[in-house]
Amino acid sequence: MTVDVLYVSYTKGVFGLRSKTSQGLLLFAIFIVALNLRPAITSIGPMLNIIRDDLLLSNTQVSLLTVIPVICMGVFAMLAPILNKAIGLNKTMYWMLLLLAVATGMRYSVTSFSVLLLTAFISGVAIAVIGPLLSALIKQYFPMHVAVVVGIYSFGMGMGATLSTGLTGVFYVKVHSYSFALAVWAVIAILGIIAWAVTAAHPIEVKQITEQPAQKRKNPWRSKQAWSFLIFFGLQTALFFSVLTYLVPIAVSHGMTLLQAGTLLSGMTIVQIFMNIGFPIVLQKFASRTPALVVILALGIVSIGLMWTADPLWFAIGVLVMGIPLGGLFPICLLMPMDATDTAEETNSWTAMMQTGGFIIGGILPLLIASLYDYTENHYVTLFVFLVLFVAMLVLALQIGRSAKQSS
């Protein structure tokens, strides 16, 4: 019996041990936990100018509040398989959600830039560990429905980003406190702990499926394909966090109020949410993911052209179109290592490797954008960097598509 057959047989057995109710609870827990993977970072964007002015910071300094957690998500992603092996999935998930709740809640008592940096670091570590474990969990418990569950996972993250980008500005206007507007997102981390406690009443674990010889396992660090995934994921991450961080400042520079810019950002993230859950389902109908990937990257280039205009209507349309690639790229990135691997253990290691390098790339590039803006004070330079990222991903997507075709 081959390794693939052994894996599918095992996972069907595990899946079968869970009733429909417990399967539904697990899906719900994945969704609630996924909600927590963005607000600690994306809530900073609407408050960027306010924090900068209040604490007398440069754009480069204040951008560290989004750069640090993203880099941490890369540096500490490899902790996921280590902690899973050492203390198990359940305990790891509890600890990471607790760290996220504490870090986000600490922002209520923010008195200095150093406190915000500390909360950014802790949040990044927690998110770094949760992400790969969720991917491995999906691979093990939903092997026949990976794309659909990835859609639910992506939908949860998109919803978290939408709520935090859209409501953080509203909380600030109502309470006149950016510390409260940032700290309130600790509530969904607490909900995540509760949701996990409910579904963890049924056994949940990600473990080695077979006694597959070490030399036959796919080592991502020695795979050109895995390195392509890493670079693509890094460019996608850089684009995602840069857009969510700088879209409000760009819109304000075009004459919009904070609430108008926040509303526009919410509209973009709503489009993103529909792409998060709908795009993976559509992808199941195609043998190759490359054509769909090329289309959404081309739409991203079009969105930059629309945002480049000074006309408020075309700018707003461009922002909404931008939600299509932002929502579609992440689920494709999640599916890449799942498609290329045979077991949940391999998926865990490939995803951790992809996110390790990818998030480091994704953290460094937004810092470069902030530095360029400090130097030029021109957000058209920011838009040009977005354009370069789209073009680079388009070239890389075509290369990955060719490699996948040759492999098959």
SS3 string of 106-153? HHHHCCCHHHHHHHHHHHHHHHHHHHHHHHHHHHHHCCCCHHHHHHHH
Q: Give the HSE-up count for residue 93: Cα atoms under 13 Å, Cβ half-sphere.
A: 29
pLDDT tens by residue, the chain, 408 residues: 333 333 333 344 444 445 677 778 889 999 999 999 999 998 998 888 899 989 888 888 888 998 899 899 888 988 888 898 888 888 899 999 999 999 999 999 877 899 999 999 999 999 999 988 888 788 778 877 777 888 888 889 888 988 898 889 889 989 889 999 999 999 999 999 999 988 876 656 665 444 444 445 677 888 888 898 999 999 998 998 888 888 888 888 888 887 888 888 888 988 988 887 777 777 777 667 788 889 999 999 999 999 998 788 999 999 999 999 998 898 888 788 877 777 767 777 787 788 788 888 888 888 888 888 888 888 889 999 999 999 999 999 888 877 665 565
**What's residue 211's pLDDT?**
43
pLDDT at 366: 81
- The answer to whether 340 and 225 have CB atoms below 8 angstroms apart is yes
Question: Residue 36: what pLDDT?
Answer: 95
Following DSSP, what letter does each residue of 175-215 receive, concatenated?
A: HS-HHHHHHTTHHHHHHHHHHHHHHTTS-------S---GG
* C-beta atoms surrounding 61 within 10 Å: 16
Q: How far apart are CA 151 and CA 199, in angstroms?
A: 20
Inter-residue contact 280 to 151 (CB < 8 Å): yes
Q: Percent helix, strand and coil across the chain, each rounded to 5?
A: 85, 0, 15
Residue 215, SS3 per DSSP: helix
Inter-residue contact 290 to 404 (CB < 8 Å): yes
pLDDT at site 408? 54
The Cα–Cα gap between 26 and 199 comes to 6
Query: How far, rounded to the nearest angstrom, does the alpha carbon of residue 327 sit from its chain's CA centroid?
Result: 10
403: number of Cβ within 10 Å? 13
**405/55 Cα distance (integer angstroms):** 52
- Dist. CA 245–CA 236, nearest whole Å: 14
- Report which DSSP code applies to 392: H
